[in-house]
Chain A
Amino acid sequence: MEPRRLCHVLDQSRVILCAGCGGVGKTTIAASLALAGARKGRRVLCLTIDPARRLANALGLERMDTEAKEVEPARLTAAGVRVEGRLTVMMLDPKRTFDDLIVRHASSAAMRDRILQNRVYAHLSSRLAGTQEYMAMEKLLALVHDPGYDLIVLDTPPTSNALDFLDAPGRLISTLDSPMARWITDTFAAPRKSRFDVVARGAALALRGVARLTGAGFIEQVAGFLAELNGLFGGFKRRAEAVSAALRRDDFAYVLVTSPEPASIREVLYFAERLAEHGLRRDVFIVNRVHQAPGATPTVSEVDAALARLGGPADHAAGASCPTLAERIARAAIEEDALARRDRENLRVLDELALGPGELCPIRVLVPAFPADVHDIAALAGIADRIC
């Protein structure tokens, strides 16, 4: 298959999922992709996890705001950005999504309150392994058929290991829906019902062992919590299948974000391999914060000449033991050049190992390192220019 350009991905996808390890600027890239999509006339929802406060403010989001909120056209115009479509942003709050699910699915007010007020639920609903990842997918499933949006850009949770995003929902489901959990819930839901099969006897022994560690009563509380939840969602397994099917949709694109650092490249390649193993697509690698070469590394006298022409600053640190201002300016260029070379060298590894049709990743796009942090709409638009 011909590799698709990022522009085509933005035009044709229903969902774009941004993945990568922590600290590579995934949230910023997701916001830029969303803006790029909106500029192309699409109605875009950017579902983000935890944007930097200044970026959130720039988009008009309050920190704890979890409602979908359209970025006012006036804000965009003020930043010099013309948007043909619409840009809506929404912050994902796993605890809130979980609560909403319970409110929506509980068969009675009594059941709803029983769950929401369960001590275990209160402590752990947002801490069950994989909850954040699961709730991100849950939210996505709820929104994917919303006719109000043409494109949903999903920023994935900041995990130390990008794979958690794929594996954690399964882990949550296998806990809630494991034979053990079912046995526990059956037992505690109907304590008088006698169970004589071998599995149940083994489990009973095991459960006594676990209870010896945790003390009396705790397992019952956990079991009560799991029983309510499992009943509520009509089997998490079916939902897991829906998630798995959604991940394989044709109009569901994967954008892998990395920095040019070797560790980050290794991580993203590993992630790409795992996506391939799962039979999932890899559409684009975005390498964020790539250092650009200064164009030239001048001699000290060339710098002096330029300083004289432009009326540059006086040498504040002049002294016998200190390098002159011109020397330090020349050094700034040399160091910038060295960073650019190092990045180019690191990127060769990525290109040789993974780039091209039929390879781990069909195309890659470079986003330059900006001297200042990216936290306003104009800067996002600057990135959007680079990627499409």
Chain B
Amino acid sequence: MTFPFDRRFLFVTGKGGVGKSTVTAALALALARRGRRVLVATSGARERLSTLFGVAPFTAESRLVAAGVWGVRIDVDAAMREYGGMMLKSRTVYDAVFDSRLVQGFLAGVPGLHEWAILGKVWYHSTETDGAGRHRFDTVIHDAPATGHGLEMLRVPKVIVDLVPPGILRRDAERAWHDLTDPIRSGVVVVALPEELPTTEALELVEALTSELGLPIAAVVANGVLEPLFTPAERQALLAAVPSGLAQPGDVGSSGEAGLMSAARRAIREELQAEHLARLAAVAAAYVELPLLPHGAMSLPGASTLAERFG
């Protein structure tokens, strides 16, 4: 399955530390190279994407950060105010809601409200049009929170639809949910590393997204894949030839033997990696492997190299 480049809304998530921001950037560059106008949206308190693109920190105003790529940072409070402003036509009521510290303190903790403000705002960007009725962006990519929190965020519109009585909030949540569940329009990009925990978490996430929420998976991305140096047969032979106790580099005889030990450790990693990659590739969605880059991928050249792998 090739990567579905035509979706309007992509939600990138995965276990903490798997490289969601890197994958978001690489994906944005890959889409821009195909002539699409891409908006990258982030909401973290400490966004890393601006560093990667080598630009000033993202702000609430979308800005061009690379050819064909715009960046925006969703500010939760501003998003809530803006949303309130659109919905509450009366200025007095609006001020009463948003200038009241009492209300602010209360709203800050209402379950899911922050998540909805962020997701709703990013989703809104995917529906934005210019004067001629043309979409402002062809694709909006959300560099979303890690698995647990990301799943919570995706669950919120459904909870609103299930729980909140008819009204403005419910109506908007229904629209967003309709788009998010549409496999032509949207999709979740699940990022993993070829290691035990991130792989297991990715597979559990896929399961929760598809069976519990009915959300489409756009792709599974295996990040940080070590290029195999040895064939499976060589790995076995290396492990058999090298005496045990190779788990750690220690004192070895010659430097040639040190090399063999190093190769055996590499063989173990390659063996386990192959196992985890097979599990990820088995998911019924587009599957992309991104190589481990020697100098790290948190840079524009790094992300550009990875962008080529999306095909």
Contact = CB atoms under 8 A, between A and B. Distances in A.
A317 B234 contact: yes
A159 B18 CA distance: 14
Contacts of A208: 93
B151 to A, nearest CB: 11
Given A23-B15, A371-B268, A295 B251 contact: yes
Interface stretch (A71-79, A168-176, A349-357): A168-176
A6 B140 CA distance: 47
A322 to B, nearest CB: 10
B96 A298 contact: no
B252 A295 contact: yes
Interface string B250-266: 11101111111111011
B103 A128 contact: no
Q: Which of B249, B251, B294 counts the most chain A CB atoms within 10 A? A: B249
Interface in A10-49: 21-24
Given A263-B48, A295-B252, A174 B105 contact: yes
B265 A312 contact: no
A158 B102 contact: no
Contact of A21 (B17, B240, B265): B17
Contacts of A216: 165, 167
Contact of B256 (A120, A184, A302): A302
A96 interface: no
Interface in A140-192: 158-161, 163, 171-172, 174-176, 178-181, 183-184
Given A22-B16, A171-B109, A203-B103, A123 B259 contact: no
Contact of B17 (A24, A53, A218, A382): A24
Nearest to A120: B163
Contacts of A293: 249
Given A52-B196, A160-B146, A297-B259, A22 B96 contact: no
B26 to A, nearest CB: 16
Given A178-B106, A313-B241, A373-B197, A294 B233 contact: no
Contact of A332 (B96, B168, B266): B266
Contacts of A307: 241, 256, 260
A160 B92 contact: no
A313 B88 contact: no
B132 interface: no
A127 B206 CA distance: 20
Interface string B72-94: 00000000000010011010111
Contacts of A302: 254-256, 259
A330 interface: yes
A158 B148 contact: yes
B283 interface: no
Contacts of A238: none
A305 B260 CA distance: 11
Interface string A313-353: 11111000000010011111101101000000000000000
A270 B45 CA distance: 12
Contact of B112 (A124, A210, A212, A270): A124
B35 interface: no
B232 to A, nearest CB: 9
A214 B165 contact: yes
Contacts of A103: none
Contacts of A123: 159, 162-163
Contact of B231 (A183, A213, A317): A317
B149 interface: yes
A175 B96 contact: no
B36 interface: no
Main secondary structure, interface of A, reads helix
A199 interface: yes
Given A22-B15, A128-B111, A298-B258, A215 B249 contact: no
Nearest to B162: A123
B248 A368 contact: yes
A178 B149 contact: no
Given A22-B16, A215-B164, A298 B44 contact: no
B94 A209 contact: yes
B262 A294 contact: yes
B260 A217 contact: no
A49 to B, nearest CB: 10
Nearest to A53: B200
Contact of B168 (A120, A178, A212): A212
A119 interface: yes
Contacts of A311: 241
Contact of B258 (A217, A295, A309, A338): A295
A295 B255 CA distance: 7
A325 B234 contact: yes
B168 A174 contact: no
Contacts of B87: 212-213
Contact of A303 (B168, B252, B256): B256
B46 interface: yes
A310 to B, nearest CB: 5
B238 A298 contact: no
12 contacts: A123-B163, A129-B108, A203-B103, A209-B84, A210-B97, A212-B167, A262-B298, A295-B251, A295-B261, A299-B255, A317-B231, A371-B265
Interface of A: 21-24, 52-54, 119-120, 123-124, 127-130, 158-161, 163, 171-172, 174-176, 178-181, 183-184, 199, 202-203, 205-206, 208-210, 212-218, 222, 259, 261-264, 267, 270, 292-299, 302-307, 309-317, 325, 328-333, 335-336, 338, 368, 370-373, 375, 382
Interface of B: 15-18, 44-46, 48, 84, 87-88, 90, 92-94, 96-97, 100, 102-103, 105-112, 114, 145-146, 148-149, 152, 155, 159, 162-170, 195-198, 200, 229-231, 233-234, 236-238, 240-242, 247-252, 254-263, 265-266, 268-269, 272, 294, 296, 298
Q: Lowest 8 CB-CB distances: which A-B pairs, in order?
A: A22-B16, A23-B17, A175-B109, A215-B167, A313-B237, A306-B256, A296-B255, A302-B256
Given A262-B296, A295-B258, 19 more contacts: A23-B146, A53-B200, A175-B109, A178-B109, A210-B97, A218-B163, A270-B46, A292-B249, A294-B259, A295-B252, A295-B261, A296-B258, A305-B256, A310-B257, A316-B233, A316-B234, A329-B263, A333-B263, A382-B247
